[in-house]
Amino acid sequence: MDLTKNEEDYLKALFMLSVEAGTELVGTNHIASGLGLAPASANSMLKKLTDKTLVHYEKHGKWVLTDEGKRIALQLIRKHRLWETFLYEKLEFTWDEVHEVAEQLEHIHSKKLVEKLDKFLGHPEFDPHGDPIPNEKGKYKAVRKLTLSEVPPGAVCKLIAVKDTSAAFLQYVSEIGLGIRSQIKLVDRRDFDNSISIEVDGRQVQVSEKFAINVFVVVV
Amino acid sequence: MDLTKNEEDYLKALFMLSVEAGTELVGTNHIASGLGLAPASANSMLKKLTDKTLVHYEKHGKWVLTDEGKRIALQLIRKHRLWETFLYEKLEFTWDEVHEVAEQLEHIHSKKLVEKLDKFLGHPEFDPHGDPIPNEKGKYKAVRKLTLSEVPPGAVCKLIAVKDTSAAFLQYVSEIGLGIRSQIKLVDRRDFDNSISIEVDGRQVQVSEKFAINVFVVVV
DNA sequence: TATAAAAGTTAGTTTAGACTAACAAATTTA
DNA sequence: TAAATTTGTTAGTCTAAACTAACTTTTATA
Ligand SMILES: [Mn+2]
Ligand SMILES: [Mn+2]
Ligand SMILES: [Mn+2]
Ligand SMILES: [Mn+2]
């Protein structure tokens, strides 16, 4: 009845990769590398999940979640994001620390726990990274996460995550005076190279389009 | 480095059984039946834990925790009881629902999580069953849990658990108007048969010594 | 003290879920 | 279209942790 941690992780990976790729079908190697495993391992696990009718095999090496498989994946994502919200909001974890622990907590089996946690948190719709939290039925709000490069002049937004997590980039981000939850006002954008002027703590800063593409924000 | 869920559960079981038995030494069969497993399974796991110097083999079929093994067991108990407290205090779980979920949550690996959870709960010293919560160093307050039969006349106490969990007994308990957290005033005790008079919600009730032995309370 | 019962160990099997190496099929590319 | 490359599968091995069955050692009892 209840799936193992590993089975659950495969279903979640398949869901995430298919959303990311914009197609239902995902190849064996793609799933394997997403989980950091050998293709042979993924192949045999996916065959097992096919027997359990959680995954469907399509032509040569392509896999799709069944409705039931998708339902389970969405519940897992729900749990993951609720736990991230809990760690961030209630236990003073920073946004970059929550994921690793949520990766473990998402596998706790207790329907009551999930529903009570959701209630305790006030039924949040987005996790600390700005990703939507599916409800009990698996439905969720459209993503409101943007990169800084998409924000219109005049808008005020808040930094919620970075795409590039290299030390060099993070160093640059903090030099500018930015961090998680920083308020950013987009002053204007130059058509010439799409570089932008932003206002941070009352100071005005110039950043390139490349920089702006690597910063995720929500408009406040 | 990090132990598996199963290894952890063996260490905890060994600790709890040795406390219960009042002796450091615990036999193979005892540990096996405590975990609901075959003696052969316990034997091979305990040999493995011996290699890891978490357990020590003593003469014929008797096992003892090493200092390191005991340290780990106490940390596991700390986590278990902190989670039970969280579920009870923050998520509206009832006292009899917390154990099963805490059995899973205790295996989440994150030092930061335990310390932040402890802080969030206000550094509680006892869990919802009245059992003491070890601190980061494994130290804990002496147990303050009593059976109703040990309470002196005049004292006011609170029901925190029952020893006998049979349907018949629970039925009787609720008939008297008692439940978890009920206030009980001990009116007096008859020397003749150690039966007692208690006051519950202003009503006076007579109960036998056998009844009193099966009800755990804390003096308030 | 001899025998029965209880307790503990060993050996061999099973399942989950990894891995590597060898192989086969599809897709690119020359 | 033939060769090269990429992608996927099969077979066999490994580890963790359970199981059963058979065997041995210790303890209890007649
Ligand atoms: Mn995450
Ligand atoms: Mn996970
Ligand atoms: Mn418990
Ligand atoms: Mn456990």
Which of A4, A87, A89, A111 would best serve as a mutation to test chain B binding (most B beta carbons within 10 A)?
Answer: A87
**Touching check for B6 and chain A: CB below 8 Å?**
no
Going by C-alpha positions, the residue among A181, A176, A207, A178 that lies closest to residue A194 is A207
Do strands A156-162 and A146-147 pair parallel, antiparallel, or not at all (unpaired)? unpaired
Instruction: Find the distance separating the first CA and the last CA of chain A, reported in whole Å.
Output: 43
Q: Which residue has the tokens 């064996």?
A: A28
What pLDDT, on the 0 to 100 scale, is given for residue B163?
Answer: 86
Give distance CA A110 / C1' C8 (Å). Answer: 38
Sheet with A62-65: strands ordered across: A26-27, A62-65, A55-58
What pLDDT, on the 0 to 100 scale, is given for residue B176?
Answer: 92
Looking at chain A from residue 110 to 169, which residues have their Cβ under 8 Å from any Cβ of chain B?
110, 112-113, 116-117, 120
Contacts with A129 (C-beta within 8 Å, 6 or more apart), sequence order? A84, A95, A145, A160, A161, A216
Q: Using CA atoms in the order A199, A205, A206, A211, what is the torsion angle rounded to 10 degrees? A: -80
Q: Which residues surround ligand 2, an ion (CB under 5 A)?
A: A 9, 103
For chain A, residues classed under CATH 1.10.10.10 are: 5-65
What pLDDT, on the 0 to 100 scale, is given for residue B160?
Answer: 86
Alpha-carbon distance of A146 to A148, in angstroms, equals 6
For chain B, residues classed under CATH 2.30.30.90 are: 146-219
B70-91 pLDDT, tens digit each = 999 999 999 999 999 999 999 9
What pLDDT, on the 0 to 100 scale, is given for residue A151?
Answer: 95
Going by C-alpha positions, the residue among B155, B172, B156, B153 that lies closest to residue B214 is B172
Residue B99 has pLDDT above 80, yes or no: yes
Going by C-alpha positions, the residue among B127, B132, B130 that lies closest to residue B161 is B130
Do strands B55-58 and B62-65 pair parallel, antiparallel, or not at all (unpaired)? antiparallel
Give percent of chain B above pLDDT 90: 82
Q: How confident is the model at residue B133 (pLDDT cuts 50, 70, 90)?
A: very high
B18-73 pLDDT, tens digit each = 999 999 999 999 999 999 999 999 999 999 999 999 999 998 889 999 999 999 99
Alpha-carbon distance of A49 to A57, in angstroms, equals 10
**Touching check for B87 and chain A: CB below 8 Å?**
yes
What pLDDT, on the 0 to 100 scale, is given for residue A147?
Answer: 94
Closest alpha carbon to C1' of C21, residue: A40
Alpha-carbon distance of A55 to A69, in angstroms, equals 6
**A5-65 CATH:** 1.10.10.10
Residue B144 has pLDDT above 80, yes or no: no
Longest dimension (CA), chain B: 60
Alpha-carbon distance of B87 to A38, in angstroms, equals 39
User: In the numeric block, which tokens belong to residue A159?
Assistant: 């930094």
Alpha-carbon distance of B127 to B101, in angstroms, equals 14
What pLDDT, on the 0 to 100 scale, is given for residue B63?
Answer: 98
A146-219, superfamily in CATH? Ferrous iron transport protein A (FeoA) (2.30.30.90)
Q: Are A203 and A173 in contact (CB under 8 A)?
A: no
pTM: predicted TM-score of the whole model, two decimal places: 0.89
B156-191 pLDDT, tens digit each = 999 988 888 788 898 899 899 998 889 999 999 999
Ranges of residues in chain A whose predicted pLDDT is under 70: none
What pLDDT, on the 0 to 100 scale, is given for residue B65?
Answer: 98
Alpha-carbon distance of A39 to A206, in angstroms, equals 45
